[in-house]
Amino acid sequence: MKTQEEWLQKLHKDSSLKEVQEYIKQVIDIRGFGNQPIEQVMLLLLEETGELAKAVRKDSLNTSIDKNRIENYDTVESEVADY
């Protein structure tokens, strides 16, 4: 079985939607999410989306953030590539 990194290396900026969908399917299987109820998967997706939103807020010049909790805010790049 290929690793997530090996599947990711197959993608490039011109990858088709089908190729991206195949990558996502493989990651779901690798991480063991394939047998989880849809509600659990949706919550995981929302959690990851929230982390990305927090990182975007950190980099935004027009958005105030809690400076006392800045260590809880990761970078956009690391959240997008979070795997």
Every domain of the chain and the residues it spans: 1-35, 36-83
| pLDDT band, residue 71 (cuts 50/70/90) | low
Report the 10 Å Cβ neighbour count for 56: 15
* Distance between CA atoms of residues 14 and 22, nearest Å: 15
Encoded amino acid at 69, one letter = R
Q: What is the pLDDT of residues 15-32, one digit of tens each?
A: 999 999 999 889 888 988
The C-alpha torsion from 25 through 55 and 71 to 46, rounded to 10°, is: -50
Instruction: Name the pTM for this structure.
Output: 0.57
Q: How far apart are CA 61 and CA 38, in angstroms?
A: 36
